[in-house]
Structure 1
Amino acid sequence: MGDLGLFGPGSVTWRVHGEPILIVAGLRALLLQSLHPRALAGVVQNSDFRTRPWHRLETTATYVVTVNYGTTADAEKAGRNVRYIHSKLHATDPRTGERFRLDDPDLLRWVHVVEQESFLDVARRSGVKLTDDEADGYYREQLRAAELVGLDPATVPASQAEVAAYYEKMQPQLATTRDTVESMLFMAVPPMPFGLGWTPLRGVYTGVAALSLGLLPAWARQRYGLPGIAATDPAASLLIRLLRASLSTIPRRLIEGPIYKGAMARARAAGHPV
């Protein structure tokens, strides 16, 4: 009962991931990850995301919450499951025809870095106050999450400067393929769950998807054929702040899941203010 997991109270991870606004960061990460042809091919060729997009989203979100707020045993079990699944899967490079494994460290590193950079970027731009030292601390903490999926922490960028250099290095490997465009359009207008279809929820989701695109780095927006002008960044930052303010009016008990609530209960039992 006293296990506070991989991070715990006082960690930058708990400060960042306690924000409901990070749902936007998840979509931003998917859009950015899709610019890597091999990473996208691994998903397209091995996933049922087109027929069950909300199930995939729920599964991914549950994994992230388990790693960040679950017990150490739960986080390690989730990591073992991911490593086992990846070890069994292969895909074909759409450009070269080469077969590759989904547990290729280069692919795992791309997915990890994009996720963590997206979480941190959206949190800070929405108004979560973090110093540069704290932002670097977040990347260092998340090396534990990288290790869970099978990465050597020594090979993973662990600061803002290292992430920026990594993105610069990776850009020649990125491309806007037909799969990239189709995936972007699917993520922008997916089938809505529970038969909601063309209801106001559709409009809300479309707005969030558009905001996620606007929050991408300028070089990524340009690859999607969108404006890469500097004016896009402050506009997106203003909108994400307004959305975070709107979400803050919703009672937290309505949006806190059982894994998060369990972590808070264990922290309080251990005498930590949360």
Structure 2
Amino acid sequence: MVQEFSDYRAEGILLAGAGRAILLQLANPGIGRGVAEHSTFTERPVNRLKGTLTYVYAVVYGNDEQVKEVRRRVNRAHVPVRRPADKASAGYSAFDPELQLWVVATLYDTALTIIEKIYGPLDDAAADAMYRDYARIGTALQLPPGMWPKDRAEFGRYWAERVSTLRAEYPGVRVARGLLFPRHTALWYRAIIPPARFLTAGLLPEQLRKDFGLAWSDQHERRFHRTFRILAVAYPKLPPGIRYWFKDYCLRELDRDLKRNPQPSQHLGISA
């Protein structure tokens, strides 16, 4: 049973799974092509990550004004992300509910994976509450309510089926390699990428590690498990002010944006 902790949704340790969620999304051919052709993700990875998490935090914790603002940002960013089917592409749209479902599914499964590695398995009440939260995140993203699997068991079947057939294609691989092996970014970002790349590789299914060209060995596997054993001991002992800092920071920045610009935002914090 899970240890007591006050709010898994705000835990900064979820950032450890950011790379996993992103690569799982990019492995979906429609998302991979859309990002490759329309996004500046590899040029502004930190801004994009902040935008995505601001959306999640606003939906879960925010007031009506904050939720409306992040939804405007998402919608404005997604409008141009579309391509009709032709001989070269099956086509895609950022408003495709199947793609939206996959995005939210990767966020949920990644959050659950990280929380259980740190705190142990969730009991049914906590697991159900977490699942309901991510259903809200999906419907706020315009996912039709009936598309989100009705319960955790149904989600498990959906997830297993999708992951078993998921294969990353070149456009998504190219974007992922740009994120994980950056060439022209700030020194501090290049410094944090090796551990982030290591955690991302360890959290991915084996086939996707191969698709994205991420080296892995028995030695990597032992180091990966040792890393999470250490985190599971050390991280919960941090004070809430540190563990929840990034959530508080994102919401403060959102409030500042709203005060500076009370009209519909021009900031495109989230992209496909």
- Percent identical among aligned pairs is 25
Match of 1:151 among 143, 153, 158: 143
Aligned-residue offset at 1:160: 3.3
TM-score of the pair, normalised by structure 2: 0.74
- Name the CA distance, whole Å, in 2 between partners of 1:34 and 1:13: 32
1:213 aligns with 2:204: no
Aligned-residue offset at 1:241: 4.1
AA paired with 2:60? Answer: N
- Name the CA distance, whole Å, in 2 between partners of 1:88 and 1:124: 37
Match of 1:196 among 187, 194, 211: 187
AA paired with 2:205? Answer: P
Q: Which has the higher mean CA deviation after the structures are superposed, 216-225 or 82-91?
A: 216-225
AA paired with 1:99? Answer: G
CA distance 1:29–1:130, change in 2 (3 Å): same
CA contact (8 A) 2:30 2:91 kept: no
1:43 aligns with 2:35: yes
CA contact (8 A) 1:65 1:260 kept: yes
Aligned-residue offset at 1:151: 0.9
- Name the CA distance, whole Å, in 1 between partners of 2:85 and 2:228: 35
- Name the CA distance, whole Å, in 2 between partners of 1:152 and 1:111: 14
CA contact (8 A) 1:215 1:233 kept: no
1:130 aligns with 2:122: yes
Q: How does 1:1-274 map to 2 (within 5 A)?
A: 15-91=7-83, 96-127=88-119, 130-171=122-163, 174-191=166-183, 195-196=186-187, 202-224=190-212, 236-243=224-231, 245-247=233-235, 252-253=240-241, 255-256=245-246, 257-258=248-249
AA paired with 1:53? Answer: P
AA paired with 1:152? Answer: P
- Name the CA distance, whole Å, in 2 between partners of 1:30 and 1:48: 14
Aligned-residue offset at 1:90: 0.7
Deviations 1:179-223 (A, max 9, x none): 233233222223575x426xxx64443112211220123454354
SS at match of 1:175: coil
- Name the CA distance, whole Å, in 2 between partners of 1:98 and 1:33: 17
CA distance 1:225–1:85, change in 2 (3 Å): closer
- Name the CA distance, whole Å, in 2 between partners of 1:205 and 1:258: 22
Q: Which has the higher mean CA deviation after the structures are superposed, 35-44 or 161-170?
A: 161-170
Runs of at least 5 residues in structure 2 that lack an aligned partner in the other structure: 254-272
CA contact (8 A) 2:54 2:251 kept: no
Q: Which has the higher mean CA deviation after the structures are superposed, 231-240 or 15-24?
A: 231-240
CA contact (8 A) 1:38 1:94 kept: no
Aligned-residue offset at 1:23: 0.6
CA distance 1:222–1:242, change in 2 (3 Å): same
- Name the CA distance, whole Å, in 2 between partners of 1:38 and 1:238: 36
Deviations 1:240-264 (A, max 9, x none): 34235555576654634345689xx
Q: Which has the higher mean CA deviation after the structures are superposed, 149-158 or 106-115?
A: 149-158
CA contact (8 A) 1:79 1:148 kept: yes
Other-structure match for 1:271: none
Greater length-normalized contact order (CA 8 Å, ≥ 6 residues apart): 2
